[in-house]
Chain A
Amino acid sequence: MAADPGHLITAPAVRVRNLHRSFSRNGGVLNGLDLDIAPGEFVALIGRSGTGKSTLLRALAGLDRDVEGYGQITVPGAVSVVFQDSRLLPWKRVLPNVVFGLRGADADRRGRDALAEVGLEGRERAWPYQLSGGEQQRVSLARSLVREPQLLLADEPFGALDALTRIRMHALLRKLCERHRPAVLLVTHDVDEAIALADRVIQLDDGVVRTDVRVDLTRRSRHDPRFAELRAFLLDELGVTEEDRR
């Protein structure tokens, strides 16, 4: 990791300063959080359950109208969200779901291309209920990418998938992100997933970013000793003890 000139010269894609959010009863969830994400940077957000990961993500997505708080948020114009559930409209077939709300004469063609990219060519006319969970999540990924977002927000998008499908989805997501280069903020509770995918892993605790580490592994393999080292460090930060890990 030599100098990181991109980081210094270009303006960050996401810039969060002094972000506070709280739900009336149980005090502050985010307490003065600062965060920068560079254009094209893939950031994984980890943290124990209930630390406010979803709250942060929803703040960036502009979906937290009913939450109290203040602070500054700068995000790019084109933001896409991938939810934990695929959130396909059940009354629309696959292709109309992908191009839902998309303008332009070539919307359908772009939708077909996006579906091909996630490996679902030929399923354009299927109803959502006819797809498997993994396929539905791929459609929702296609729906996000076809909008060419500068920022992709994803809240545990693979949480409901089985281990094998997850690994496939990881490879797909990395490939797609390398091609389209959006800035990414991915919430996950899986440390391995974070290291496998991200350029940077941040950990949320007490409403602020407590840990912020770069992942500069050349080979993202579990056999890399530095992978294991990083994994142990992050688990430690999350308060998972040696005992638990056994």
Chain B
Amino acid sequence: MTATLHVSERTTDTTDRRVLRRRLGPGRRIRFSFWIGPIVLLAVWAAGSATGLIKPAILTAPWDVVTAFQEQWTDHDLLGNILSSLARAALGLGLGVLAGAVLAVVSGLSRAGESLIDGPIQIKRSVPTLALIPLFIAWFGIGQEMKIVTIALISMVPIYVHTHNGLRGIDGRYAELAETIGIGRGEFVRHVVLPGALPGFLLGMRFAVTSSLLGLVVVEQYNATSGVGHMITLAEQYGQTDVIVVGLVIYGVFGYLADTAVRLTERRALAWRRTLDT
């Protein structure tokens, strides 16, 4: 009798003795996990430069990059260059996203739209946008228009493809429900189609952001008078490796911040989904 009591005492103890299965998903989210990888990379770079393993001729040391950054900032209007690049990328990306999303919705919701739009975009997909630059130069000249059109076009494609895909994947039973509830086409698009296609759109957005930066890097090689690419081109002529690295780091930071922003948006906007990520 005493033995039994003893056992029950132990099991009702405050220690939590639950039975848990081995988890197959990635597990709990780590705080600030976004920053861990880049910080490790930076540490390796710094350690390599400090020990002389990475020679300055190969890659400038992080602290020299910081010095070059300060110099560019005070003497060569680095902020102006950054803003000019950002404006270019943002404008191109904005136009591309808008066009991609609108085309995806039109082609996803109407058969006529699909037959007109889908084919050309699939063909466009197989032609690298960067290969079209010579043509754009002939059409738009070498100025700002050519650059923005290129960035817009390069970021439009992933938005179109993924939004269209997400839209076509919406369960047809929701359309049936909407029909029995008696709502119009506008409300159907707003409450069913757009939220249903949002996961696809946001995935496309992540690709589009990276593509737009790729486009930016390339178009800024062409006769820019301002912008980070312009700064890199000048540094190339004078053999300033440290300034080139400053430019590359800025591109990297752009990309990383933009991607982070999209991922955070994704997490908030898709709270209704239960996926492996949560």
Q: Interface residue tally of chain B, by bracket?
A: 20 to 34
Q: State which of B187, B192, B198, B271 has its C-beta within 8 Å of the C-beta of A89.
A: B192
Chain B min CB distance to A123 (Å): 15
Q: State which of B181, B272, B273, B274 has its C-beta within 8 Å of the C-beta of A100.
A: B181
**A23 in contact (CB, < 8 A):** no
* Contact between chains at A101 and B182 (CB < 8 Å): yes
**B140 in contact (CB, < 8 A):** no
Kindly state the separation between the CA atoms of A62 and B178 in the bound complex, as whole angstroms. 12
B177: chain A residues at CB < 8 Å are 81, 83, 87, 89
B191: chain A residues at CB < 8 Å are 89, 92, 100-101
**A136 in contact (CB, < 8 A):** no
CB-nearest residue of chain A relative to B194? A91
Kindly state the separation between the CA atoms of A85 and B178 in the bound complex, as whole angstroms. 15
Interface residues of B in 181-217 (CB under 8 A from A): 181-183, 187, 191-192, 195-196, 198
Q: State which of A91, A100, A127 has its C-beta within 8 Å of the C-beta of B198.
A: A91
Kindly state the separation between the CA atoms of A101 and B179 in the bound complex, as whole angstroms. 10
Known: A89-B192, A89-B195, A91-B195. A81 touches B180 (CB 8 A): yes
Interface residues of A in 124-149 (CB under 8 A from B): 127-129, 147
* Contact between chains at A101 and B181 (CB < 8 Å): yes
A150: chain B residues at CB < 8 Å are none
Known: A80-B180, A101-B182. A87 touches B272 (CB 8 A): no
Q: Which of A62, A79, A90, A127 has the most CB of B within 10 A?
A: A90
Interface of A is mostly: loop
**A63 in contact (CB, < 8 A):** yes
Kindly state the separation between the CA atoms of A91 and B177 in the bound complex, as whole angstroms. 14
* Contact between chains at A63 and B272 (CB < 8 Å): no
Chain A min CB distance to B64 (Å): 50
Q: State which of B176, B180, B274 has its C-beta within 8 Å of the C-beta of A129.
A: B274
Known: A85-B173, A127-B271. A91 touches B183 (CB 8 A): no
Chain A min CB distance to B267 (Å): 14
Q: Which of A63, A85, A91, A100 has the most CB of B within 10 A?
A: A91
* Contact between chains at A83 and B271 (CB < 8 Å): no
**B174 in contact (CB, < 8 A):** yes
A61: chain B residues at CB < 8 Å are 180
Q: Interface residue tally of chain A, by bracket?
A: 10 to 19
Interface residues of B in 151-194 (CB under 8 A from A): 173-174, 176-183, 187, 191-192
Kindly state the separation between the CA atoms of A61 and B272 in the bound complex, as whole angstroms. 29
Known: A90-B273, A129-B272. A63 touches B192 (CB 8 A): no
Kindly state the separation between the CA atoms of A9 and B48 in the bound complex, as whole angstroms. 95
Interface residues of B in 29-86 (CB under 8 A from A): none
Q: State which of A83, A92, A129 has its C-beta within 8 Å of the C-beta of B173.
A: A83
Known: A80-B180, A81-B180, A129-B274. A87 touches B187 (CB 8 A): no
A128: chain B residues at CB < 8 Å are 272
Interface residues of B in 86-142 (CB under 8 A from A): none
* Contact between chains at A91 and B196 (CB < 8 Å): yes
Interface residues of B in 242-278 (CB under 8 A from A): 271-274
Interface string of A59-90 (1 = CB under 8 A from B): 00111000000000000000111010101011
Chain A min CB distance to B146 (Å): 40
Known: A89-B192, A91-B196, A92-B191. A79 touches B180 (CB 8 A): yes
22 A-B residue pairs with CB within 8 Å: A63-B176, A63-B180, A85-B173, A87-B173, A87-B177, A89-B177, A89-B192, A90-B273, A91-B196, A91-B272, A92-B191, A92-B195, A100-B183, A101-B178, A101-B181, A101-B182, A101-B183, A127-B272, A128-B272, A129-B272, A129-B273, A129-B274
Query: Given A90-B272, A91-B198, list of 4 further CB < 8 A pairs?
Result: A63-B176, A81-B177, A83-B173, A101-B191
Spell out B's residues near A (CB within 8 Å).
173-174, 176-183, 187, 191-192, 195-196, 198, 271-274
7 closest cross-chain pairs (CB), A and B: A91-B195, A101-B181, A101-B183, A81-B180, A91-B272, A87-B177, A127-B272
